[in-house]
Amino acid sequence: MTATTDGSTGALPPRAAAATDSTTVPLPPAGAGSGTATAAERATARAVEHLLSRQDSRGWWKGDLETNVTMDAEDLLLRQFLGIQDERITRAAARFIRSQRRPDGTWATFRGGPAELSATIEAYVALKLAGDDPEAPHMAATSRWIREQGGIAGARVFTRIWLALFGWWKWDDLPELPPELMFLPKWFPLNIYDFGCWARQTIVPLSIVSALRPVRPAPFALDELHTDPARPNPPRPLAPALGWDGVFQRLDKALHRYRKFPVRPLRRAALDSAARWIIERQENDGSWGGIQPPAVYSVIALHLLGYDLDHPVLRAGLESLDRFAVWREDEPPGPGGGEGGPVRMVEACQSPVWDTCLATIALADAGVPADHPALVKAADWMLDEQILRSGDWAVRRPELPPGGWAFEFHNDNYPDIDDTAEVVLALKRVRHPDPGRLEAAVRRAARWTAGMQSRNGAWGAFDADNTSPFPNRLPFCDFGEVIDPPSADVTAHVVEMLAVLGRQHDPRARRGIEWLLGEQEANGGWFGRWGVNYLYGTGSVVPALVAAGIPASHPAVRRAVRWLESVQNDDGGWGEDLRSYRDPEWIGRGASTASQTAWALMALLAAGEREGKAVERGVAWLVETQRADGSWDEPEFTGTGFPWDFSINYHLYRQVFPVTALGRYVHGEPFAPGHLEA
């Protein structure tokens, strides 16, 4: 086994032993059975108290949403491009970027992950903007590693776009993205609604940027990041003529030729159409879709079209970007050196609706009374957040009345199916003083969610039938998922919602169940699209199937139980590394984490395994690793934006899911088959 420079290993980990410190709460000296139950009760009570203390006075919960340093680097690049640099922000952002640097001078996109070229390039450029000397040891080590990996030429398209904005890369050597895409009809391949909503919100403004090809004077050169500074833009290898990659490469060449001689009135109309599309989708808080990257590109695109920075649209957009920043005071110097002081981390998005519904479920399942003021206040806030107007989802479902919830504070254009299903599950646990209001909201949500079912019987996150095979083939789309096909975790949450509403025999629910049963992997688990990975998928699907009436003795449930038992770590917990998205040998393997242990326990408890050894050991692990304040540590990334390419550490996952699992262990399953609410 060879250790990497950041202390992680490139080989599969052994079943990990739990790390403890002086703040952990030990198990009582009692034996198994009642001793574990007593310890779990005490741990649940501490965790409930901690979670209640974190509720905002307005009713919501929100944990930090940590991704990787490209968010912070691109924020500094945006400020440089617009000429709105702020010394305090620059210094604080640089401190955070340095703090995430690995000892070998590189950056990863998740804790313990391998070095990633594009993230490392963007971090290096950001630190150089912040004044770090390229000859300093930490910077020289980084530039040397970048050259060894092929230099800037090896970076993804989005990184090279940022560099092209300053003349560090040639626009001619980037794939074309013409704004005339706006005019493709909705039935035509590669129209903007063939892309997932997050990609759509990014591609439309980038089509403006691509058409206008701006270059702002660079404050310095980046020759040290090229393998050959005299030939910084080496040609990309040609794809085979036969096959889709070759087809799309030839299409890109044709678009480059068209760019030289465009139909000018058509180009002008396309730019105007794209600008209108962007402005119409700006949220009330000034953001776009509640996500940082589309907001950044929308601000750049509109500014290039002549909107000055004091225009209300741009002013609101820039103010919204400041709200993505999380400040932490008095941090020590990071591995890259430099002075200590405040650090500034940029969130890719914010998750209050998701965090609030999960916290409500957790507290209710942990025994908090259904009419507790905290739960009623949370329900009131969620009810106020229901979206009652149509968004882009209506392109595929024009006759469907609205009624969903989004992930963020402000995102009325893009409610999502996953949040909506979980909000309904949360609301059904609350005894609200106005039950009519609550039930009306639930009915609207259930109608909208059921109506978003895709043709194959399953559900995606934001759109129905967003499954075109073409967007991922575009040379422009070399990073992450750009479509939104149905997934097992989202479908499971919808099936569970329908079951809790007494609709487990509805044809839509039955089709969803059939799809889930057909998606089970040979190992017994389910793929996790929005969480890492098979532990998340399996922890979502098994409770849903059982709630919908699938007996615990069903072969699919028994296979899932056997798989979960087989991947339990020696310390009693469960963990799964993000490398499982690329390497099957990592499936179910990784250091134990609080959230992933909870997911496994939620599945096992739903399958009737409360008295089993695996459950007892998993509960004991949660008890042993709980901190004195009732919380858990979890530096690992267990959330997923794009499988492998974009990972998330939801800072509230380490709390809400253990509370849910412990609560169900102590109090039993909340919705047992045969006791589902009508």
DSSP 280-339: HTB-TTS-BTTBHHHHHHHHHHHHHTT--TTSHHHHHHHHHHHTTEEEEEEEPPBTTB--
The Cα 531–Cα 351 span in angstroms is 14
Contact 578, 532 (CB under 8 A): yes
Contact 356, 380 (CB under 8 A): no
The amino acid at 177 = L
**Token pair 């068209």 is at which residue?**
258
The Cα 249–Cα 247 span in angstroms is 5
392 in active site: no
Contact 251, 476 (CB under 8 A): no
The amino acid at 157 = V
**Token pair 């970027």 is at which residue?**
97
What single DSSP character describes residue 26?
Answer: P
The Cα 244–Cα 152 span in angstroms is 26
**How far apart are the two ends of the chain, measured CA to CA in Å?**
56
Contact 323, 317 (CB under 8 A): no
Q: Nearest 5°: CA angle at 314, between 313 and 319?
A: 105
Closest CA to 574 of 558, 584, 587, 559: 587
CA distance to 330, 403, 460, 514, 587, per residue, from 493 (Å): 41, 17, 11, 14, 22
**147 burial via Cβ count (<10 Å: 0-12, 13-18, 19+):** middle
DSSP 613-674: HHHHHHHHHHHHH-BTTS-----S--EEEETTTEEEEETTHHHHHHHHHHHHHHH--SS-TT
Tell me the chain's radius of gyration from C-alpha atoms: 25
CA distance to 9, 106, 309, per residue, from 112 (Å): 9, 12, 40
From the list 72, 418, 463, 484, the catalytic residue is: 418
Closest CA to 317 of 179, 205, 181: 205
DSSP 389-457: S--GGGGT-TT-----B-SSSS-TT--BHHHHHHHHHHHTT---S-HHHHHHHHHHHHHHHHHT--TTS
Q: How many CA atoms lie within 13 A of 331 on its CB side?
A: 21
Q: Which residues are catalytic?
A: 418
